[in-house]
Amino acid sequence: MRRSITAGGQVNSMTLVRGLWKLLVGVKDALVLLAMLIFFSLLFVALSVKPNSVTPTSGALVVDLSGSLVEQPADADPLSLLSGNAGVAREHRLRDVERSLETAAISNNVKAIVLDLDAFTGGSQAAVAAAAAAVDKARAAGKPVLAYATGYSDDGYQLASHATEIWLNPLGAVLLTGPGGEHLYYKGLLDKLGVTTKIYRVGEFKSAVEPYIRSDQSPAARAANQALADALWASWRSNVLAARPKAQLADYIAHPDAVALAAHGNMANAALKAKLVDHLGDRNAFNARVASLAGDADGGGINKYRAIPLDRWAASHPEKTGGSPIGVLTIAGTIVDGKAPAGTAGGETISGLLLDELARNRIKALVVRVDSPGGSVMASEQIRSAIMQAKARNLPVVVSMGGVAASGGYWVSTPADKIFADPATVTGSIGVFGIIPTFQGSLAKLGLTADGVKTTPLSGEPDVLRGTSPQFDIMLQASIEDIYARFTTLVSQSRKLPIARVRQIAEGRVWAASSAKQLGLVDAYGSVDDAIAEAAKMAKVDPAGATPLYIEKQPSAWKQMVKSFFTPDRSADDPSARDPWSRIAAKPDQLLLRALADARSILGGPAIQVRCLECESNVPPATPRDISIEQSLLAWLAH
């Protein structure tokens, strides 16, 4: 007995020592992190103060869009950034870019505008169209707008087509592929692993679940996806040709092989001949051209011009205040339960922000800016309920749809008195689904079994080891059908459509707004500014005196500082960001990463979802997220 006590005492002592050691290591790591934050904070302050004194007061506004164009930049986790585990790309907020271009258009200090698209990774088609409209305003005001890139893809060329001059590197190319592409299907792999995927859904076209139960698209999904891609491509061509009517787009797109052969493989010359670009030249030639318009740089140097950085210009031209405030509630990213940082639509976060603002009794009307593929049913309803509180106060509610407003994104739009969208907005997807994987087949392959006892039919459910019970399946499917009935009823009441008609155009089908407008799901085409003006009119406020009051959580200064230091600038360290051929070669990896991340997200999300994964495949990723698991798996597969 004494030996046992002594042995126990030794074990307890060792446990205490190990615990103390872990505590000391944790304290050390925390102190190192704190020291790094203090160091970089001081460095950030120093760099923020010094360059302001040398920023030119006049010259060319440089709109360097290295990274993506988004509705709301994500508030990345600083610890993930510091550890290098966050898959973060640089992001530019759409309304900052629009405001900068619009203020530059009327400034005598801005002699020209440069669109640096060398490392532009894209944005939703609607977001690019909105930025292009701001470029049009600058051109209409007489500002020269010059675009440059080593290579242009669809998004970059759509924006560049609105410039006064399009420059292309002589070694570059204009590669226009259009929407579409492959999707990953998991059925074969799940069968080999013995995983059974239980699907609960309503809607013939709710094809988000098909990768888990099929090896290819169903005929219904293929028809719907083709129609969506065709509508988006028609909208893209219309936008580009309106800006550049002399471009010989039809032949260039339809016969890329013949174009390449006719140019003896020189794709830059092919683009010039087809009038897709105006000039071929490297950075030196382009900079010299800008310098002839904006003046040589004060510090001298060869082929350097007086450049006004976008972030400095945006900071010195902040959003308007005063006037009659029109609230603008931003719902961007996947809709999730609880609280969430910017770039993800947390139900509790967004509803809390709106209710707090309503309690202040400041806003005259509400504009809901939606750029979301949906997500959690509960969070979507929580946000919708908060918007209904605005209607209960007799505030006009107008929805402005961004790149995507589908599934839960449409659910939160149903309180609207009027819905504006871009023709390329992806919307609809009025359907509900749930997915639960079970592993009885996997266990059998390993020689494992599971058994237990029950006190009710729902004991241990969902049973992922032996398979869900018939009672559980019936209950969950009935719940999903009930939510679908609620969804379609909300749409029927909001859009003043017979319920039978709503069910015809619902079924989980995804629509481009160009089609959704004809179906009655959207009222009019227009920007968020159009929505604000309409909301002001409905509130009997002069639109000229209306000022948007953005209802959103502002990111903390220190998080912005950490993000500015640790977010990679692809234009500086990744030559493939500029080479169009390398971009195409990287697409398979990006496709696999996205598929794996989507699978993790959908399987780890709520049991019942109103989410449109089909929509996300038509919109470039806008929200950085931790994809370290997917990156590690991809690296393992590569080896």
One of 68, 153, 407, 442 is an active-site residue; which one?
407
- CB-CB contact of 482 with 178 (8 Å): no
Which residues, at least 6 apart from 333, have a Cβ–Cβ distance to it below 8 Å? 72, 74, 340, 343, 344, 345, 371, 372, 622, 623
Q: Is residue 407 annotated as part of the catalytic site, yes or no?
A: yes
Bridge partners of residue 638, in order along the sequence: none
How many Å apart are CA 441 and CA 439, to the nearest integer?
5
How many Å apart are CA 9 and CA 12, to the nearest integer?
5
Which tokens in the block code for residue 555?
């990111």
Which tokens in the block code for residue 575?
């030559």
Residue 476 region by backbone torsions, left for phi larger than 0, else alpha for psi between -120 and 50, else beta: alpha
Residue 553 per-residue DSSP state: P
Helix (H) or strand (E) holding 434: strand 432-438
How many Å apart are CA 262 and CA 591, to the nearest integer?
32
Which alpha helices (H) appear in 84-183, and where do they start and end? 94-105, 125-140, 154-160
C-alpha angle 325-329-330 in degrees, rounded to nearest 5 = 135
Q: Is residue 429 annotated as part of the catalytic site, yes or no?
A: no
By CB neighbour count within 10 A (0-12 exposed, 13-18 middle, 19+ buried), where does 566 fall? middle
Residue 88 region by backbone torsions, left for phi larger than 0, else alpha for psi between -120 and 50, else beta: beta
One of 111, 143, 206, 517 is an active-site residue; which one?
206
Q: Which amino acid is at 373?
A: P
- Closest-CA residue to 87 (of 114, 111, 121): 121
- Give the C-alpha distances (Å, rounded to integers) separating 414 from 417, 483, 519: 8, 15, 15
How many Å apart are CA 186 and CA 216, to the nearest integer?
9
Q: Which amino acid is at 464?
A: V
Which residues, at least 6 apart from 198, have a Cβ–Cβ distance to it below 8 Å? 435, 436, 437, 438, 462, 467, 468, 473
HSE-up (13 A, CA, CB side) for residue 617? 22
- CB-CB contact of 64 with 310 (8 Å): yes
- CB-CB contact of 183 with 617 (8 Å): yes
- CB-CB contact of 369 with 127 (8 Å): no
Which residues, at least 6 apart from 366, have a Cβ–Cβ distance to it below 8 Å? 326, 327, 328, 329, 354, 387, 390, 395, 396, 397, 398, 535
- Give the C-alpha distances (Å, rounded to integers) separating 184 from 209, 596, 597: 12, 9, 12
- Closest-CA residue to 375 (of 346, 418, 417): 346
Catalytic residues: 206, 407
